[in-house]
Amino acid sequence: MLKFIFRRALESVGVLLCVSLITFYLSKAIPGGPFDQEKKVPEAVKKQLEAYFGMDEPDWKRYLTYTFQFPSLPSTKFPNRRVGEMIASKFPVSLELGAYALIVALALGIPSGILASLKPNTALDYVPSSLSMVGICLPTFVMGPLLVIIFAVQLRWLNATGWENPSDKILPSLTLGFYYAAYVARLTRGGMLEVLNQDFIRTALSKGASMVSVIFKHALRGGLLPVVSFLGPAAAGLIAGSFVVETVFAIPGMGQEFVKAVSNRDITFITGLVLFYASLIIFFNLLVDIAQVFLNPKLSFKD
Amino acid sequence: MTRLVNPAKLQNLEKGESLWVGAWYRLRQNRMAMFSAAFILLLVMLCFGLPLFIDLDYKGIQSEKYFTPPGQEYLMGSDHLGRDQFARILYGGRISLLVGMAATLVSLTIGISYGAISGYFGGRTDRVMMRIVDVLYALPFTMFVILLMVLFGDNILLMFAAIGAVEWLTMARIVRGQVISLKKQEFIESCHSLGLRAPRIIFRHMVPNILGPVIVYTTLTIPAVMILESFLSFLGLGVQPPMTSWGTLIKDGADRTAVAWWMLVFPGAFFALTLFSFNFLGDGLRDALDPKTTRKG
Amino acid sequence: MDETKHSCRWILSMALVIIAVLAFPGCGPRTTAVDEGNANQTLYITVGAEPENIDPHVVSGVPEHHIITSLIEGLVAEDPRDLHVVPGVAESWEVSEDGLVYTFHLRDDAMWTHGRAVTADDFVQSFRRILTASLGSTYSYMLFPMKNAEEYLNGTITDFSEVGCRAIDDRNLEITLKEPTPYFLSLLNHYTWFPVPMDVVKKHGDPYLPGNRWTLPGNFSGNGPFKLESWEQNNKLVVVKSDTYWDSDTTRLNSIVFRPMEKSTSAEAAFRTGQLHNIYNLPQDFIAIYKRDFPEVLHMDPHLAVYFYRFNTTREPLNDPRVRKALAMAISRQEIVDNVAKAGQPPALSMVPPDCAGYTSRARIEENIEQARKLLADAGYPNGEGFPDVELLYNTDEGHRNIAEAIQQIWSRNLNINVTLDNQEWKVYLDSQRSLDYGISRAGWTGDYPDPNTFLDMWTSWSEQNQTGWSNPEYDRLIREASNELNPETRYEYFQKAEEILADEMPVMPIYFYTRVYALRPEVKGWYSNHLDHHPWKHIYLEP
């Protein structure tokens, strides 16, 4: 397994290089620069700003600077901040929110998915299935304001915005969690049905094993496989933050920065964010690949 | 039971065409799935057909009649510019259904082939293919969309491409995970010993066995794509006003719940019902296509 | 089957426990941030977006203005009611007869928060800093009325002593202007003219580069009524009362918490639930509700800004002034304002807002559909026939989309012509507009200072803000004459003539003048409506 991880780490370097290179050329290709604004900036001023951020250097030099020194570079939009510290101050917030949302998603999604798979196409299936789909029917930009209206404006139990008190974290986590819970529930149901119909489960049941023990000892392993595959990128996305949830609840996380940094053409910050996010993706997909081996005894790390 | 299946069909069952014939039979038995299919069909006819017969104006502005509640004049109320919400939902449905299905189909096709090939061959092929997926995941989607728009102008086809291009990644990973776990099962091993070729094993024997999670994820992709579409129009790609879509209508309505609940409730209801229908139809299809249920029957 | 039931029950009880745990913290009556703030004079306020920086020489936005004015004070200050100029760091000043030389006498109790007195040299060094090209200040042109300021920035002059500012001694500062500028004193309230403590700035990096870190909490020093306490990006920026400020007896607030709120509907929810004392921009659909239910918190202030459409005069068919006029005449601005924009904006029939520093435009657009149809027919498009496809460009925003959709329908109804809408992401839109890659384009312009010139000099052939491809030598001449004219009446007469040309050629089509619609809790006192949206913080207090 160590060898597997080591090889993966090597490959990841290649992935990060590809990502940074493509991002660099994307940012060169899209119209508009960081210093364009409604009232046109005089050409001479713009030149000075571009020089300060190294934008007048040859491409290869710019690329190397942006990619390898991004933590210590100033953001073009917020020049008194450094990219590294901007990520460091926002990531913990997104991580916390993402973790709560993930807990909500799993705690709601997996049980209701299992429940639905036990007696397919009966009320026991339709009720949890329909409930779990509410998370998708009400996209986060509807769910968020709706929860705010109920719990903040009407009931006055919770704050409408912010990320200060522990109670502030409930609504955003639920909003984000409900959405993913729907995916988890549906994929669990599908995966479980797949497994529950297999011979070894029926054999186990016919031998008198209890349903609960069959589910937890045998079925869940294979049944959760699609959920696990889904969770790799989903978890990375969750922890990296959500643009909608963060703007609706005014949370100082990293998710809104992905969109805003691009609108601002904040090239130094974009590079930092993309590389950071790529590392998250690589890390979580690695975790998933390891988990897949553990979930399927027939597999080994050589595959 | 025996009376329903005629001997000719039984013969087919052995030959391996069984999957589709049997599936169709089983699907028809699933009332919820058939009901959902009928609803989707009805919706498609409404969105694409109804405006041909009755006069529905989705863009005409009666600006002084903004926020008219549902009633005699406007079946589902009027929006913030005094346009007929019902007409807008139907026209918006065209875009959303089209985008939802086409983009999902694109992502389905790419995702299944990519994931199955990567998982089946394993080794270096798999590693390279999955690292490419990692790269694509990490790229800034917003930038990609802005660039597409600048290069090609706004164009519905392009929108499908852009959406399909991001949505297949997770599908590929799910399919790959399933294929890898399937690879070690006895019946695939026996395919190898029979000397079957890779494409045949993958698409004939493996894909049907992983359709369960794939269908589930597909039915989840449809609503995700419909919502993503409204984000694209925010970046300037996709449908241009006064044409609209359900995603945009819901977004417009979400901020106006305090003033005009009908602007959220009606498009939201259409969206939700469609979504439920696709999911129940998907569940039915999954059950019907499950090769293991065949054996049970 | 028993087992199935058992597991169901288990799962259900788990779910109930989770719900109970999640629901628990929110019980009982709560004191809100606003309640607490009212009790200890803390103002919770949002100014829209996150500030880019609080360095007055680097920033260019409006949220930054609100925050910086709490931290730094310029030579003069503003009266909270009508914004007339009152003493700031300078306790008095004189103007020479020709209106070119201003001498400011600085008070001796003006202090930086790091304990040093504010001197005349601080101002000279600050002007020098913002006029140094390497700093890349995007707003440095605000200092151009000062003699040789532009030349120093461009590098045609390298010796700063030739620029029109001089510290006579620690307490006396002399500023020499290029030409008489009637609005010069009110210009001094713009943050570009504010001083910075160069000794502090130098400590935290190169003072002439934008990446300097002196504005971070812990490093910062200001001379305003408040001092910087903390600044967490995208979360909050807190300032507390400064005791070293010369007029700290007037300051009544103990602290101000600035919170960025990008989404105005979220700000509305925060306001309604007592997390904020204000909503910076009330979402337009809430205006009617607030009018009906909470009129005491609703404010609709006139704003020195105009919403208009640019015509690309280099492109068929918009290169024909008759077509441009027809388009401008065929819409009913009142209808758009009443039913679409909905914020009580005054319809704009000229570029300059009415009564702008005592100036009201004479030349006005006549809204007349019949006349518009006739003009269109004269231009070769009777009843809109053969009218080429024109694109109406706007940047992605719901408000702009609504206006564009309405105008598209009105033109189609009244002139039988079809324009297609094209929304673009902000910077792409700026790029298209600048490279004249559009047919019609929406735009807005906020006056830099209260004078008609700020709305009119942008249409000269040399202005970088023109972006319509239109130019007119006579117009250029009139604007140039006006800038050299000392007599206000003659000067305004030049503007009137220039506006007649504008109305006749119509390179731009004004639609409405902005209003600022916001909500403010009634306990916030010392806040007065004005068209610049300036509210000097030291006069504001809370009285529940």
**C-alpha pair distances (Å), C170 with each of C108, C117, C120:** 9, 9, 5
Q: Does A17 touch chain B (CB under 8 A)?
A: no
Q: Do C26 and A158 touch (CB under 8 A)?
A: yes
Q: Do B286 and A303 touch (CB under 8 A)?
A: no
Q: Does residue C321 have a cis peptide bond before it, meaning omega lies within 30 degrees of 0?
A: no
What average pLDDT is seen over chain A?
A: 89
Statement: residue B295 has pLDDT above 80: no
Q: Do C428 and B146 touch (CB under 8 A)?
A: yes
Q: pLDDT of B69-87, one tens digit each?
A: 898 888 888 888 889 999 9
- Residue ranges of domains in chain A: 91-256
Give residue C13's pLDDT. Answer: 56
Give residue B7's pLDDT. Answer: 46
Statement: residue A266 has pLDDT above 90: yes
Q: Does C19 touch chain A (CB under 8 A)?
A: no
Least Cα separation, residue A163 to chain B (angstroms):
22
Q: Does C260 touch chain A (CB under 8 A)?
A: yes
Q: Do C233 and A81 touch (CB under 8 A)?
A: yes
Measured between beta carbons, the chain A residues lying within 8 angstroms of C262 are: 247, 250, 256
Mean pLDDT of B10-32: 67
Q: Does C25 touch chain A (CB under 8 A)?
A: yes
pLDDT band for A197, please (50, 70, 90 cuts). confident
Measured between beta carbons, the chain C residues lying within 8 angstroms of B258 are: 285-286, 289
Q: Does A86 touch chain B (CB under 8 A)?
A: no
Q: Is the dihedral of CA B140, B141, B147, B148 positive or negative?
A: positive
User: A23-32, A44-53, A195-204, B255-264: which range is least confident on average?
Assistant: A195-204
Higher pLDDT among residues A218 and B296, named by residue: A218
Q: Do C401 and B241 touch (CB under 8 A)?
A: yes
Q: Which residues of chain C have pLDDT under 70?
A: 1-29
Least Cα separation, residue B111 to chain A (angstroms):
13
Subunits with 3+ Cβ pairs within 8 Å of B are: A, C
Measured between beta carbons, the chain B residues lying within 8 angstroms of C265 are: 255
Least Cα separation, residue A110 to chain C (angstroms):
10
Measured between beta carbons, the chain B residues lying within 8 angstroms of A142 are: 250, 254, 264, 268
Helix (H, G, I), strand (E, B) or coil at C519: strand
Q: Do C428 and A157 touch (CB under 8 A)?
A: no
Q: What is the dihedral of CA C3, C8, C9, C10, to 10 degrees?
A: 90
Mean pLDDT of A264-292: 91
Give residue A125's pLDDT. Answer: 85
Q: Do A80 and C25 touch (CB under 8 A)?
A: no
Q: Are C273 and A168 in contact (CB under 8 A)?
A: no
Q: Do B32 and A126 touch (CB under 8 A)?
A: yes
Q: pLDDT of B106-134, one tens digit each?
A: 999 999 999 999 998 988 999 999 999 99
Least CB–CB distance from C11: residue in A111, A157, A170: A111
What average pLDDT is seen over chain B?
A: 83
CA angle C6/C8/C14 to nearest 5° reads 105
Burial (CB < 10 A; 0-12, 13-18, 19+), residue C394, is buried
Q: How would you write C455-479 as a 3-class SS string? A: HHHHHCCCCCCCCCCCCCHHHHHHH
Q: pLDDT of A66-105, one tens digit each?
A: 999 999 999 999 999 999 999 999 999 999 999 999 999 9
Q: Do C423 and B80 touch (CB under 8 A)?
A: no
Give me the residue label for tokens 């790799």. Answer: A232
Q: Do B63 and C336 touch (CB under 8 A)?
A: yes
Report the complex ipTM.
0.90
Prediction pTM value? 0.89
Q: Do B290 and A193 touch (CB under 8 A)?
A: yes
Measured between beta carbons, the chain C residues lying within 8 angstroms of B256 are: 285
Residue A131's closest chain B neighbor by CA? B276
User: What is the spatial distance between Cα C498 and Cα C492, in angstroms, rounded to a whole number?
Assistant: 10
Statement: residue A45 has pLDDT above 90: no
Least Cα separation, residue A51 to chain B (angstroms):
23
Residue A260's closest chain C neighbor by CA? C262
Residue A104's closest chain C neighbor by CA? C18
Subunits with 3+ Cβ pairs within 8 Å of A are: B, C
Least CB–CB distance from C211: residue in A46, A79, A212: A79
CB pairs under 8 A between B and C: 69
Give residue C5's pLDDT. Answer: 46
Give residue A143's pLDDT. Answer: 92
Q: Are C313 and C507 in contact (CB under 8 A)?
A: yes
What is the amino acid identity at position C399?
G
- Kindly state the tokens that stand for A97: 């929110």
Least CB–CB distance from B240: residue in C285, C340, C421: C421
Give residue C1's pLDDT. Answer: 38
Please give the full DSSP string across C325-385, using - where no structure is assigned: HHHHHSS-HHHHIIIII-S-PPBPSSSSPTTBTTB--S------HHHHHHHHHHTT-GGGT
Q: pLDDT of B24-46, one tens digit each?
A: 888 888 888 899 999 999 999 99
Give residue C379's pLDDT. Answer: 94
Q: Which CATH number fits domain A91-256: 3.40.50.300, 3.40.50.10440, 3.40.50.970, 1.10.3720.10?
A: 1.10.3720.10
Least CB–CB distance from C423: residue in B60, B150, B236: B236
Give me the residue label for tokens 């990296």. Answer: A240
For chain B, list residues whose CB is within 8 angstroms of any CB belonging to chain C. 59-61, 63-64, 66, 80-82, 146, 149-150, 154, 233-236, 240-242, 252, 255-256, 258-260
Helix (H, G, I), strand (E, B) or coil at C390: strand
Measured between beta carbons, the chain A residues lying within 8 angstroms of B149 are: none
Statement: residue B150 has pLDDT above 90: no
Give residue B10's pLDDT. Answer: 43
Mean pLDDT of A121-128: 85
Least Cα separation, residue B39 to chain A (angstroms):
17
Q: Do C285 and B59 touch (CB under 8 A)?
A: no
Given phi > 0 = left and psi -120 to 50 = alpha, else beta, which region is C115? left
Mean pLDDT of B7-31: 64
Least Cα separation, residue A299 to chain B (angstroms):
7
How big is chain C, counted in residues?
Answer: 544
CB pairs under 8 A between A and C: 178
Q: Does A157 touch chain C (CB under 8 A)?
A: yes
User: What is the spatial distance between Cα C201 and Cα B150, in angstroms, rounded to a whole number?
Assistant: 42
C55-58: long-range contacts, CB 8 A cutoff, minimum separation 24: C55/A80, C55/C196, C55/C212, C55/C214, C55/C215, C56/C191, C56/C192, C56/C194, C56/C196, C57/C126, C57/C129, C57/C130, C57/C135, C57/C137, C57/C140, C57/C192, C57/C194, C57/C196, C58/A79, C58/C135, C58/C136, C58/C137, C58/C210
Helix (H, G, I), strand (E, B) or coil at B247: helix
Q: At what angle do helices A267-295 and A225-240 cross, to 10 degrees?
A: 160
How big is chain A, counted in residues?
Answer: 303
Q: Does A42 touch chain C (CB under 8 A)?
A: yes
Q: Does residue C182 have a cis peptide bond before it, meaning omega lies within 30 degrees of 0?
A: no
User: What is the spatial distance between Cα C437 and Cα A122, in angstroms, rounded to a whole number?
Assistant: 60
Of B59, B102, B88, B94, the closest CA to residue B249 belongs to B88
Cβ-proximal residues to A9 (8 Å cutoff; 6+ apart), any chain: none
Q: pLDDT of B235-288, one tens digit each?
A: 777 788 888 999 999 988 988 888 889 999 999 999 999 998 998 898 888 888
Q: Do C409 and B260 touch (CB under 8 A)?
A: no
Residue C410's closest chain B neighbor by CA? B61
- Which of B59, B64, B240 to probe the C interface (max C CBs under 10 A)? B240
Measured between beta carbons, the chain C residues lying within 8 angstroms of B81 are: 339-340, 402, 405-406
Measured between beta carbons, the chain A residues lying within 8 angstroms of B131 are: 11-12, 14-15
Q: Do B250 and A229 touch (CB under 8 A)?
A: no
Q: At what angle do helices A83-118 and A123-137 cross, to 10 degrees?
A: 160
C50 DSSP assignment? P
Strand partners, C279: C519
Measured between beta carbons, the chain B residues lying within 8 angstroms of C435 are: none
The pairing of strands C101-106 and C172-176 is antiparallel
